[in-house]
Amino acid sequence: MAQREAKDASRTRRPCPICGKPAIHRYRPFCSKRCADIDLARWLGGRYAIPATEDEPDFETEESDHPLREPRPS
C-alpha cells in the first residue's frame, strides 16, 4: 500500500480543465461529474473540433485508371 501512495504522490496532478479544481480519480481528468458532463456537452454541441484536411484529388491520373471507378462509355 505504501508503494501505491508513493506512486500517487509522485504523479503531477493536473487541475480540472473546466473549472481548475484538483481532479478526482473517478472523473479524471475532471473534478466532478458536472465538469465531465459540461465537457461532453461541448463536444456534442460542436464547440470542440479536431482539425482535418481533405485529400485533394489527383488530377494527373485518368479517371478510367482509378481502381474503384468504372470506365465511362465512349
- Domain regions of the chain by residue span: 7-44
**pLDDT by residue (tens digit) across 45-74?**
999 888 888 777 666 655 555 566 666 666
CA distance 67 to 62: 11
Distances (CA, A) of 21 to 34, 39, 42: 12, 15, 19
pLDDT on residue 60: 60
Distances (CA, A) of 22 to 31, 39, 42: 6, 16, 21
For the chain, what percent of residues have pLDDT higher than 70?
A: 59
List the alpha helices (DSSP H) in the chain. Answer: 2-10, 33-44
**pLDDT by residue (tens digit) across 1-59?**
556 654 554 466 799 999 999 999 999 999 999 999 999 999 999 998 888 887 776 66
* Pick among 3.40.50.10490, 2.120.10.60, 3.30.50.10, 3.10.129.10: CATH of 7-44: 3.30.50.10
